[in-house]
Amino acid sequence: MILHLNKLVNTDILNEIKKKYDAFHFSENEIEVVITSSSVKEVDTKFEKFVKEKFLFDSDIQLASLNYKQKREINIGGKIIGGNTNNCIIITGPCSVESEQQIEKVSKFISRLNIHTLRGGCYKPRTSPYTFQGMELDGLKLLKNAKNKYGFSIITEVRDSTHVNDVIEHADIIQIGAKAMYDHGILKACAKTKKTVMIKRGFGTTLQEFVQAAEFILSGGNPNVILCERGIRTFETKTRFTLDLCGVAYLKHHTNLPIIIDPSHALGYAYGIEDLSKACIAMGVDGLIIETHPNPSVAKSDAKQQLNFEQFEKLHKSISNIANAIGVNII
Ligand code: PEP
Ligand code: MN
């Protein structure tokens, strides 16, 4: 249940309500928003006079529900996604930040294509301890330099809560990876900032669990959350994961959060990323995140799925054509 409380409420009453219902609370546009479990359906009569509006839900998808709020808008470096816009943000860059030269080459390339949002991981959640784990703080500094030089927004991932504050400080969009999305230390730290957070769906995560991870951030008072579908694990072995476009349709029609699709991690191979990207644009999503590397064959992570500049430029042309045809603005 979500309650919007009126101005009569004071701190003591607010605390009483929070205690009684184990509720979360934040203030938004001069409204006190209180969120309880969805199993709570009634408020005690003594609190009724403080309630301006009450919203009931059949599950703990509440603040993210389209039954609560229309599509949320998110401002990324002055560019808006979500809401009533038909904007689709294109985010690209390497899987891992590897060197100054690599970031400079990618930056120059994407800047020429008028792309404003650069990705690059500095804390890599690798499956093997013997592979490249990321440049950490030195990598974050390289991204920050690229932002200052080219005016990009920067998205980079947090692997665990030990460095969450460094990522929050350097990133414009904090990426919570598929493995990290269950880490409550990360979710709670991201709830305390107002920076945009993109949560990637874990590969064994149901849609309910996925959106509930977003609820951890929203209920802490950070409204700037994006969902990212990046493929789930199925019985199929020819592709790295299975891109769940049914799930994307569910999220689009039931939640108010912008949705970005990551075809790179879903397929796991460069050859079909353009095909998938075209399908995603046609479906009407709020963004795509695609891995691009100056020389994918020597990439320190996810070498098989990263596109070289020629492949990415071809993809960019074809999605731009589809976007033009259906009234989507690529930003
Ligand atoms: C990545 O974006 O490089 C990454 C590690 O993604 P995921 O968390 O989806 O595996
Ligand atoms: Mn990757």
275-280, long-range: CB within 8 Å, 24+ apart, which pairs? 276/243, 277/315, 277/318, 277/319, 278/318, 278/319, 278/322, 279/245, 280/245, 280/248
- Return all residues near 91 (Cβ < 8 A) that are at least 6 apart: 115, 117, 118, 119, 155, 260, 287, 288, 289, 290
> Residue 203's pLDDT is what?
95
pLDDT digits (tens, 9 = 90+) for 117-131: 999 999 998 889 999
pLDDT band at 157 (very low <50, low <70, confident <90, very high): very high
Nearest CA to ligand 1 atom 1: 95
Distance (angstroms) between ligand 1 centre and the Cα of 286 equals 18
Give the rounded percent of residues in the chain with a pLDDT score beyond 70: 100
pLDDT band at 186 (very low <50, low <70, confident <90, very high): very high
| Res. 8: pLDDT tops 90 | no
- Return all residues near 131 (Cβ < 8 A) that are at least 6 apart: 300, 301
pLDDT digits (tens, 9 = 90+) for 14-50: 999 999 999 999 999 889 999 999 999 999 999 999 9
SS3 158: strand
pLDDT digits (tens, 9 = 90+) for 80-107: 999 999 999 999 999 999 999 999 999 9
Measured CA distances, 123 to 40, 68, 134, 320 (Å): 40, 35, 5, 32
189: amino acid identity, one letter: A
In testing the pocket of ligand 1, which one of 265, 273, 305 has its CB within 8 Å of the most ligand atoms? 265
> Residue 7's pLDDT is what?
84
| Res. 199: pLDDT tops 90 | yes
In testing the pocket of ligand 1, which one of 157, 203, 264 has its CB within 8 Å of the most ligand atoms? 157
What is the rounded distance in angstroms from the CA atom of residue 126 to the CA atom of residue 5?
A: 45
Give the rounded percent of residues in the chain with a pLDDT score beyond 90: 97
> Residue 152's pLDDT is what?
98
Half-sphere exposure of 1 (CA within 13 A, CB side): 17
> Residue 29's pLDDT is what?
85
Distance (angstroms) between ligand 1 centre and the Cα of 202 equals 10
In testing the pocket of ligand 1, which one of 123, 160, 186, 230 has its CB within 8 Å of the most ligand atoms? 230
What is the rounded distance in angstroms from the CA atom of residue 311 to the CA atom of residue 170?
A: 29
What is the rounded distance in angstroms from the CA atom of residue 236 to the CA atom of residue 16?
A: 52
pTM as predicted? 0.96
Question: Could you give phi then psi for residue 201, rounded to 5 degrees?
Answer: -70, 130
> Residue 245's pLDDT is what?
98
In testing the pocket of ligand 1, which one of 91, 92, 95 has its CB within 8 Å of the most ligand atoms? 95
> Residue 209's pLDDT is what?
98
Atom of ligand 1 nearest to the CA of 301: 3
Nearest CA to ligand 1 atom 3: 95
Measured CA distances, 146 to 107, 153, 295 (Å): 7, 9, 19
Residues with CB under 6 A from ligand 1: 95, 121, 125, 157, 177-179, 200, 230, 265
Both structure tokens of 305: 């799925």
Distance (angstroms) between ligand 2 centre and the Cα of 290 equals 9
CB-count burial class (<10 Å; 0-12, 13-18, 19+) for 298: exposed
What is the rounded distance in angstroms from the CA atom of residue 263 to the CA atom of residue 277?
A: 7
Point out the ligand nearest to the CA of residue 229.
Answer: 1
pLDDT digits (tens, 9 = 90+) for 204-247: 999 999 999 999 999 999 999 999 999 999 999 999 999 999 99
Distance (angstroms) between ligand 1 centre and the Cα of 46 equals 49
Strands 73-76 and 173-176: unpaired
Surrounding residues of ion ligand 2, Cβ less than 5 A:
95, 302
| Res. 57: pLDDT tops 90 | yes
